[in-house]
Structure 1
Amino acid sequence: MTPRPFDSTIPLLHEGYPFVSSRCDELGTDLFTTRIALQRATIMRGAAAAELFYSSGHFTRRGAVPLTVQHLLQDEGSVQGLEGTAHRHRKQAFLDVMAPDTMPALGELFEEEWRQAMSRHGVDRRIVLADVAEEVLAGTACRWCGIPLEKADLPRLTRELSLMVRWAGSQGPGNWYAQWRRRGTEQWAAGLVEQVRDGRLDAGPATTLRVFAELTDENGERLPARIAAVEILNVLRPMVAIARFITFAAVALAEHPRWRERFASGDVEGLEPFAQEVRRYYPFFPVVPGRSVDAFTWQGHRFGQGEWVILDLYGTCHDPRLWHDPHAFVPERFEGWSWDDDPYSMIAQGAGEHARTHRCPGEWSTVEVLRRALVLLATDDRTLPAQDLTVPLNRFPTMPRSGVILEKG
């Protein structure tokens, strides 16, 4: 295995999502070493690497995520930073509130919020889908979590949640500003937790707000209000991030009109395959970092204890050994597919078993929202005028440059 040049930060920032795969292809390997921001890193891709990273017990998230990312997407004390019994205990709360059998109710809330938003924007000749989708998803997420809309300044909350996602992969003033805004969001959520605890707010049974307000840790101690707030944001923020997938779905419908015609006609058989292909094909978060908890050898590489390791999510979802013609948009590849078919190939939002690993429990909500959005987009009379729909691959996370403009005919 040949180490990369002294530091690959500039090539990574220039090339973006394809960086890892291009280096792996050049070297003829799925694993190489380099430096990112002067820190030695081992970078991996592929299904075997995903299984090692998520399910072997050799890696932890602790100390792996850069602070500029951690403070926006996770913050200290959240489930992503836990391991072992503590992680499984906290993760079960997320699995309870985001269970597959609860998704139809979420989808109905999304449709209600979508129609209300489109009514509000009915006089607008043009709308930017990314902005409207974030607005819709913020309202959906609040209602889903048991947060009364009168308890939320929805435009402000939408903006703050959007900033957390937009600036997570960046450094500098934009990231600092987003972190500053997040502090206020956490205080707002912690205040809601305290109101539930002292009886001033009835969040409703089994809602995210109530579950985390009442949740105890693995030792039976109630979570501090700030930690409960962080976990509530770990439901709200990812739901708003689905707006990026919705913009990609709109582009895919425009580029593959036969699918739009199918969905507009009421044919729902292809909704899930199409939604899954949107998740696989389009770039979301590019990689996930970890640190080795012990020293071991895998495929000829000696991992040292505490070694920084990065798994390529995007490259694995475009690996030609796993996906035929991976750079083509082919929803048919997911016909008959199930979540249990291979948990280490379709890893746009993590790998492994949801209950045992750090795989995102928000996958089911992503697919549910996308299914509903596909029908709503296909039956809407707005069209895509000429615009810049290119997707910059050196922006993390990315979306079409225009945000997808929709125009009335």
Structure 2
Amino acid sequence: MIVQDTRPVQLEATGTPDRVVDYRGGGSRFWPPKIPRSPAFDETLSLMREGYGFLPRRFADLDTPIFRTRLMLRDVICMTGPIAARLIYDDARLTRVGAMPQTVLRLLQDRGSVQQLDGAAHRHRKALFVRILMEDKGSLDRLVATFRRQFLERVPDWSRMGAVALGKELDLILFRTALSWTQAPVDADLLEDDAALVADMIENAGHVGPRTFGTLFRRSLLERRFRAAFREIRRGKLTPMPGSPMAMLAGYRDVHGQLLSPTVAAVELINLIRPLVAIGRYIVFAALRFERHPQWKEILAEPDAERLTDFAEEVRRISPFFPFVGAVARASFDWKGYRIRRGQWLMLDLYGSCHAGEAFRAPDEFRPGRGVRRDEADYSFIPQGAGSTARGHRCPGEMATVEILKEAARLLAGVIDYEVPEQDLSVSLTTVPTGPTDGFIISGVRWRGMERA
């Protein structure tokens, strides 16, 4: 069946931002003098069972924005809200090294990646990603244009296919987009398998089991091919387009003036490709919002940059995407009256922070009119991190995410028409990462007005 959201929705795409407070790192929630402890000895299985709701439920039950528990027999301090976000993303006394299980690290970042660096080395490497994904407007424009072209090229096939699994199609579209934009080597015979592999990296990051280890093995084969490509560039046998991400990675010199090893360059290339493929999950959630709130599909059928941004940002805020992020204390220090000891594991609730009633009126309602925006001074709207992108660990791909999501919304609302057949569109918050149960199937795909845009 189709599960419809019958809750009231604010129709206006512009107007007074629907924010309870202008959070700039403050907050009114009471911080207790001593960190409460969740009563269970270890809550690893509870986390796996409860998914996105694990942290918010305990913050509510304990009536606190901070508590201690054990996960994988390791002591962890869990936090939520803008005060905690400022600590996790801005404080140089924290590191990402050791902040996630090895399987998650290997699938999502891997050793030697920018997220595993600290201090000057991290800022220097991060500057490369900021240039590629944020500062070079021409590069960002090419990325969005490539996505649009790849999307439109699939429409005739969708018209012939009948039923289309939108999520799987977006995995392929975004993988092709990423290869073309980065100038990464393409093996036509392996294209669909590689796209499925990158999607599996994202899908299996929240799990441990045979599929996870199988994905790790397949990833190692992709890394091997990318390593070979970087060696070919160094030998002058392969020449990527000047200014392309592939060329910039090949020519990048670290804080000590050394070129990246082919191994690390291959890891960082995947760290550009994989997050682009992950945007497909947001696009599926955008399609789900169009189905639940069809008035927004009509509103956005006529392009309007401000309303597109309102819609895309609200999709990012409300959708279950990254549930939390971790950090580890590099040294002992005092913070808000608490003693944070060296090696202490910290965890910030991203999903719960974006659904906090202290920051957003009716936080579980889809209201694009609340006007949320990516802002380095805002520590409450943090679907992909908080604080400074250049100086901290905030995701440098946020701008690309928003622009591709806006273009996808424009295409789904104004360029193609389709039906959504009967299916289960409910979203389980116990599965990480999650999405509509039946994956969002569309059918009867055609050009809007039977004319190609």
The bucket for the TM-score relative to the shorter chain is over 0.9
Q: Note closer, same or farther for the CA distance 1:218–1:267 as it changes in structure 2 (3 Å cut).
A: closer
1:163 is aligned to 200
Aligned length: 407
Aligned equivalents of 1:99, 1:151: Cα separation in 2: 30
- CA displacement at 1:331 relative to structure 2: 0.7
What's the counterpart of residue 30 of structure 1?
65
Counterpart Cα distance in 2 of 1:55 and 1:152: 44
Paired position in structure 2 for 1:72: 107
**258-267 or 184-193: which moved more?**
258-267
Deviations 1:347-382 (A, max 9, x none): 111111000011111111111111110011113221
For residue 182 of structure 1, what is the aligned residue in structure 2?
219
CA distance in 2, matches of 1:243, 1:10: 29
Cα shift at 1:386: 1.3
Which position in structure 1 is the counterpart of 2:408?
373
Secondary structure at the aligned position of 1:32 is classed as: strand
Contact 1:292-1:306 at 8 Å conserved across structures: yes
**In the alignment, what sits opposite 1:12?**
47
Q: How far does residue 187 in structure 1 lie from its aligned partner after superposition? A: 0.8
| Partner-residue secondary structure (3-state), 2:300 | helix
Q: SS at the partner of 1:324?
A: coil
Within the alignment, does 1:238 sit opposite 2:275 as a pair?
A: yes
Q: Distance in 2 between matches of 1:14 and 1:59?
A: 29
Deviations 1:53-98 (A, max 9, x none): 1112221011111101001001100001000000011001101111
Bigger CA drift: 148-157 or 194-203? 148-157
In 2, are the aligned partners of 1:135 and 1:155 still within 8 Å (CA)? Answer: yes
Contact 2:92–2:119 (Cα < 8 Å) also in 1: no
Matched, 1:332 2:369: yes
SS in 1 for 2:346: strand
Letter in 1 for 2:147: F
Contact 2:428 2:435 in 1 (8 A): yes
Worse overlay, 96-105 or 373-382: 96-105
Report the CA distance between 1:10 and its aligned residue: 2.1
CA RMSD of aligned residues (A): 1.5
Aligned: 1:345 with 2:385: no
Give 1:384's match in structure 2, choosing from 414, 420, 433: 420
Whether the 8 Å contact between 2:376 and 2:386 is mirrored in structure 1 is no
Contact 1:126 1:406 in 2 (8 A): yes
Structure 1 residues 27-176: aligned runs within 5 Å? 27-99=62-134, 101=137, 102-147=139-184, 149=186, 153-176=190-213
What corresponds to 2:8 in structure 1? Answer: none
Deviation at 1:147, TM superposition (A): 2.6
1:208 aligned to 2:262? no
C-alpha deviation, 1:149, in angstroms: 4.1
Q: Residue 220 of structure 1 aligns to a residue in which SS? A: coil
CA distance in 2, matches of 1:198, 1:383: 52
**Counterparts of 2:418 and 2:129 in 1: how far apart (Å)?**
36
CA contact (8 A) 2:318 2:366 kept: yes
The residue correspondences of 1:243-392 to structure 2 (distance < 5 A) are 243-334=280-371, 337-340=372-375, 342-379=377-414, 380-392=416-428
Distance of 1:297 and 1:152 partners within structure 2: 56
Q: Report the counterpart of residue 394 of structure 1 in structure 2.
A: 430
* Cα distance between partner residues in 2 of 1:6 and 1:378: 49
Q: Is the contact made by 1:147 and 1:209 (CA closer than 8 Å) also made in structure 2?
A: yes
TM-score, length-scaled by structure 1: 0.96
Would the alpha carbon gap of residues 94 and 341 (structure 1) be closer, same or farther in structure 2, given more than 3 Å must change? closer
Task: Determine if contact 1:343/1:353 at 8 Å carries over to the other structure.
Answer: no
- Structure 1 position 299, deviation (Å): 3.1
Q: CA deviation at 1:148?
A: 5.3
Alpha-carbon distance in 2 for matches of 1:147, 1:53: 33
Unpaired segments ≥5 residues, structure 1 = none
| Counterpart-to-counterpart distance in 2, 1:26 and 1:50 | 21
- Are residues 267 and 63 of structure 1, via their aligned partners in 2, closer, same or farther at CA, if it must alter by over 3 Å? closer
Distance 2:288 2:181 in 1: 27
In the alignment, residue 27 of structure 1 is paired with which amino acid?
L
Query: 2: distance between equivalents of 1:126 and 1:203?
Result: 38
Cα 1:195–1:151 shift into 2, 3 Å: farther
> Where do residues 189-204 of structure 1 align in structure 2 (5 Å cutoff)?
189-204=226-241
Deviation at 1:341, TM superposition (A): 6.3
TM-score normalised according to structure 2 size = 0.87
